[in-house]
Structure 1
Amino acid sequence: KREGDKWILNGQKKWIGNATFADILIIWARNEADNEVKGFIVKKDNPGFAVEKMKDKMALRIVQNGIITLTNCEVEEADRLQNANSFKDTAKVLQMTRAGVAWQAVGCARGAYENALDYTRTRKQFGKPIASFQLIQNHLVEMLSNLTAMQTLCFRLSQLQDQGLLKDEHASLAKVFCSLRTRDVVSKAREVMGGNGILLEYNVARFVADAEAIYSYEGTKEINTLIVGRAITGFSAFV
């Protein structure tokens, strides 16, 4: 809520990437007066701001996610994002980040595929590389097919972005498709490596874990599916 030239923020934000060491953060909060979402620049030394590092994650371990607690946190009106006055404005940010996560899914899938391919060329069974076996080649081709489709979709997504034509449904479609296909790619990568696929030294186990995080954040499959569904049918299924 607003009090004079200041805003008072209360609440919690969870899973905020790198919040533990950031000097400034963008906080989205709903205004009690008009029930609209506003954007604020919050500095780490603002009174009432606290952050706690989330521990024991299995995925995206390089990212320090934090739980932010705002207790009567004071923010100057000058630190309010003046053009962020509704959730529709917030959605513009989600459009960009979902496009980025789609590309992240491509990177995760490619890493798993390349590691699995290298492994099958050197791992021998019955005196020859397992890459020469029919079923292994079948898995590798399916992985490459998914990866190629993901890359093509993301290339088109970036073209639309460069042309200023990117829409919410484009980013949501890419995020849904790529995160789903990545799960399939990393699963097959682990499978062709057998028991070694769960050992960290072979890297694929890390990609398997990261794929689960990519699948979930920046909007779940269900939320992004409804965004695309609304665009293609003209009917909103949100309740």
Structure 2
Amino acid sequence: MAEGSRDLLGAAELLPPEELERLIEIDRVLQETMAQQSVEFWNREEFPFQWLKPLGDLGLGRVQVDGTSRLFKGLVYAVVARADVSLCALVGIHNELIVGMIDRLGSDAQRAEWLPRLEVFDAVGSFALTEPDHGSDVAGGVATSARREGDTWILNGAKRWIGAGTIADVVLTWARDEADGVIKAFLVRGDAPGFTATKIENKAGLRIMQNADLTFDEVRVPESDRLPGSDGFDKANELLLDSRAWVGWQAVGLGHAVLDDARSYAAQRVQFGKPLAKFQLIQEQIARIAGNATAAMGMMIQMARLQDDGRLKMAQAAMAKATCTRLVREAASLNRDLHGGNGLVTEPGHIASKLWGDAEIIYTYEGTYNINSLIVGRALTGVSAFV
């Protein structure tokens, strides 16, 4: 084990040289230009639009379609989360659920219009599925409606907790066809009449990500903006499977940020005449934080192998999401405790509570810990506990 290393399993060494070189450069740029600034934007619940171009320059708007390995994509998400989890939420949703979905389920015209802009972050997309009254049960409970009139669809309803909802140029919206009851996806433009997005304020974590309440009041969408490959929720579920795995990588990166913060503070903070790092209790906490991050990394390496082979199942993705976020939630709590009173403020140099708040969010979204655990339980027992 190399002293000072975060990647205790040597996962990056599994990458081919060109991917490893690119990963190192992405990590370097994010740490030098964004990580230290993120706490100020986090405190203000403000999105740093000036980061979009650098993200595009790094190729982070197109990792879903650039032909790189799943392990590379996962490690990229991890290093972005290490810089800031909101930033990783933007990059991950943008790739997994916007670029990826338009690429796989969109028409040639839709791909030609949107992908060139999305891939360089000249445009931002958001994914609108969750609703005010349908969170964990959204698969069967989508209430947002779509009514066809000639070559136009009329959307009515509401969505909640939609990431980047207030800043999106295009909102990939799931609605139920009134005629046949099938859930379908539509590309709603951010300036469409009848569409409104209201920022959700005062979140405990993920404060840079602009989550929103969306309302659709007789929003008119041309048939040409309906994703032709999206009929039925099964299509969404295939991509949501990969996005659950993506949250596991977020947990890996956040775990590395927690480990960085714990080691740095323990080395610098002096109590009773010596650094905290010399106390046995502190070393045990840091070792447990490192163990949690490493266990999550090991699980996610195998998830990447399954994805590359086309063998990842929903129960495996749910287990990865639930387990990795549980481990980082514990690690973030240990780190906050290690910081004492300084772990209760969020300011440059003291980010333990920021890391803790962000851990709470990823523990909850993309299916709560309990819901994902029930998916695993159903696979193991053959019995559904949902109904």
Q: Return the match for 1:210 from 355, 358, 371.
A: 358
**Structure 1: gaps spanning 5 or more residues:** none
Match in the other structure for 2:225: 79
1:99 partnered with 2:245: yes
Letter matched to residue 181 of structure 2 = N
Q: Deviations over 1:170-221 (max 9, x none)?
A: 2111110011111100011111111111122311110001011111111111
User: Aligned runs of 1:1-239 on 2, under 5 Å?
Assistant: 1-200=147-346, 201-239=349-387
Report the 3-state secondary structure (helix = DSSP H, G, I; strand = E; otherwise coil) of the residue aligned with 1:222.
Answer: helix
- CA displacement at 1:131 relative to structure 2: 1.0
Distance 2:202 2:290 in 1: 32
In structure 2, C-alpha distance between the alignment counterparts of 1:230 and 1:3, rounded to whole Å: 41
For 1:141 and 1:157, locate their aligned partners in 2 and report how far apart those are by CA, in whole Å.
24
Letter in 2 for 1:227: I
3-state SS of paired residue (2:343):
helix
Return the alpha-carbon distance in structure 1 between the equivalents of residues 351 and 156 of structure 2: 41
Q: Separation in 2 of the partners of 1:238 and 1:31? A: 25
Q: Aligned AA for 2:380?
A: I
Report which of the two has the higher share of strand. 1
The residue identity in structure 1 corresponding to 2:362 is I
Equivalent AA in structure 2 for residue 218 of structure 1:
E
Deviation readout 1:39-85 (Å, 9 max, x if unpaired): 11111122321111222223111111111110111111121111111
In 1, the alpha carbon distance for the partners of 2:180 and 2:316 equals 30
CA distance in 2, matches of 1:145, 1:121: 19
The DSSP-based 3-state class of the residue aligned with 1:47 is coil
Q: Corresponding residue for 2:53?
A: none
Contact 2:252–2:328 under 8 Å retained in 1: yes
Q: Summarize deviations over 1:150-186 as a string: whole Å, max 9, x none.
A: 1111111112112222221121111100111111000
Contact 2:258 2:289 (8 Å CA) reproduced: no
C-alpha distance in structure 2 between counterparts of 1:73 and 1:92, whole Å: 27
Partner Cα separation in structure 2 for residue 109 and residue 211 of structure 1: 9
CA distance in 2, matches of 1:227, 1:109: 24
**Alignment RMSD:** 1.4
Answer with 120-129 or 169-178: which moved more. 120-129
When normalised by structure 1's length, the TM-score is 0.95
Q: CA shift at 1:32, angstroms?
A: 2.2
Question: C-alpha separation between the residues in 1 aligned to 2:249 and 2:294?
Answer: 12
Task: Quote the offset at 1:104 in angstroms.
Answer: 0.9
Post-superposition offset of 1:33: 2.3
Q: Take 1:225 and 1:8, find their aligned partners in 2: how far apart are those partners?
A: 37
Report the alpha carbon displacement of residue 34 of structure 1 after superposing the two structures with TM: 2.4
SS in 2 for 1:219: coil
Q: Which runs of 5+ in 2 are unaligned?
A: 1-146
State the alpha-carbon separation in 2 of the partners of residues 29 and 226 from structure 1.
26
Q: Percent identity?
A: 46
CA shift at 1:236, angstroms?
2.6
Distance 2:366 2:355 in 1: 18
1:228 match: secondary structure? helix
